Chain A
Amino acid sequence: MSAPTQALALGVGNLLWADEGFGVRCVEALAAEYEAPENLTIADGGTQGLYLVDLLREHDPVVIFDAVDFGDAPGTLRVVENDDIPAFVAGKKMSLHQAGLQDVIACAKLLGDCAQNMLLVGVQPVELEDYGGSLRPAVRDRIPDALAVAVEYFESQGLMLRKRSTPVASSVITPGLDLERYEAHRPDAQQACRIGDARVLNRTART
Chain B
Amino acid sequence: MSMQTPNGFNLDDSGRRVVVDPITRIEGHLRIEVNVDDDNVIRNAVSTGTMWRGLEVILKGRDPRDAWAFTQRICGVCTGTHALTSVRAVEDALNIQIPENANTIRNIMQLALQVHDHLVHFYHLHALDWVDVVSALSADPKATSELAQSISPWAKSSPGYYRDLQTRLKKFVESGQLGLFRNGYWGHPAYKLPAEANLMATAHYLEALDFQKEIKKIHTVFGGKNPHPNWLVGGVPCPINVSDTGAVGAINIERLALVKQIIDQSILFAEQVYLPDLVAIASFYKDWTYGGGLSSTNVLSYGDIPEHANDYSASNLLLPRGAIIGGNLNEVHEVDQRDAEEIQEFVAHSWYRYDDESVGLHPWDGVTEPNYELGPNHKGTKTHIEALDESAKYSWIKSPRWRGHAMEVGPLSRYIIGYAQGNPEFKEPVDKLLTDLNLPVTALFSTLGRTAARGLECVWAAHKMSYFYDKLIANIRAGDLATANTERWDPSSWPTDVKGVGFTEAPRGALGHWVHIKDTKIENYQCVVPTTWNAGPRDLEGNIGAYEASLMDTPMADPEQPLEILRTIHSFDPCLACSTHVMSPDGEEVADVSVR
Contacts and interface: CB of A to CB of B under 8 A. Distances in A.
A94 B583 contact: no
Nearest to A84: B585
Interface in B389-425: 396
A48 B372 contact: no
Contact of B182 (A71, A91, A128, A129): A91
B581 A47 contact: yes
A44 interface: yes
Contacts of A69: 25, 582-585
Given A14-B73, A94-B566, A191-B60, A47 B579 contact: yes
A128 B573 CA distance: 26
Contact of B383 (A87, A193, A199): A199
Contact of A70 (B185, B370, B396, B584): B584
Contacts of B591: 92-94
Interface string B62-85: 110110011011111101000000
Contacts of B77: 48-49, 51, 96-97
Contacts of A89: 178-182
B269 to A, nearest CB: 16
Contacts of A102: 583, 587
Interface string A96-112: 11111110001101111
B161 interface: no
A191 to B, nearest CB: 6
A17 interface: yes
Interface stretch (B45-53, B309-317, B318-326, B338-346): B45-53
> Which interface residue of A99, A192, A199 has the most chain B CB atoms within 10 A?
A199
B209 A111 contact: yes
B227 interface: yes
A67 interface: yes
B227 A86 contact: no
Contacts of A2: none
**Best-buried of B60, B125, B382, B581 by chain A (most CB within 10 Å):** B581
A77 interface: no
A91 B183 contact: yes
A112 B468 CA distance: 35
B460 to A, nearest CB: 21
B79 A48 contact: yes
A46 B74 CA distance: 10
B297 interface: no
A156 interface: no
B60 A95 contact: no
B359 interface: no
Interface string A163-187: 0000000000011110001000111
A147 B24 CA distance: 29
Interface string A62-99: 00001111110000000000010011111111111111
Contacts of A111: 206, 209-210
Contacts of B62: 185, 187
B58 A96 contact: no
Contact of B209 (A14, A83, A107, A199): A107
Question: Which of A16, A43, A57, A94 has the most chain B CB within a 10 Å cutoff?
Answer: A94
Given A15-B73, A16-B579, A100-B583, A90 B58 contact: no
B27 interface: yes
A192 B27 CA distance: 24
Given A187-B60, A193-B369, A106 B178 contact: yes
Nearest to A18: B579
Given A111-B210, A200-B51, A128 B582 contact: yes
Interface in B121-172: 121, 124-125, 128, 168, 172
A134 to B, nearest CB: 11
Given A96-B124, A106-B180, A131-B54, A46 B227 contact: yes
Given A98-B590, A203-B26, 6 more contacts: A66-B582, A92-B183, A97-B75, A97-B575, A101-B583, A110-B180
22 contacts: A14-B76, A14-B581, A44-B227, A47-B76, A47-B579, A47-B581, A49-B77, A66-B583, A68-B584, A86-B583, A86-B584, A86-B585, A88-B179, A95-B125, A98-B590, A129-B26, A174-B228, A177-B69, A185-B61, A191-B60, A191-B61, A198-B383
Interface of A: 12-17, 20, 43-54, 57, 66-71, 83, 86-102, 106-107, 109-112, 122, 125, 128-129, 131-132, 174-177, 181, 185-187, 191-200, 202-203
Interface of B: 20, 22, 24-30, 50-54, 56-58, 60-63, 65-66, 69-70, 72-77, 79, 116, 120-121, 124-125, 128, 168, 172, 177-185, 206, 209-210, 212-213, 216, 227-228, 230, 351, 368-370, 372, 382-385, 396, 566, 569-570, 573-587, 590-591
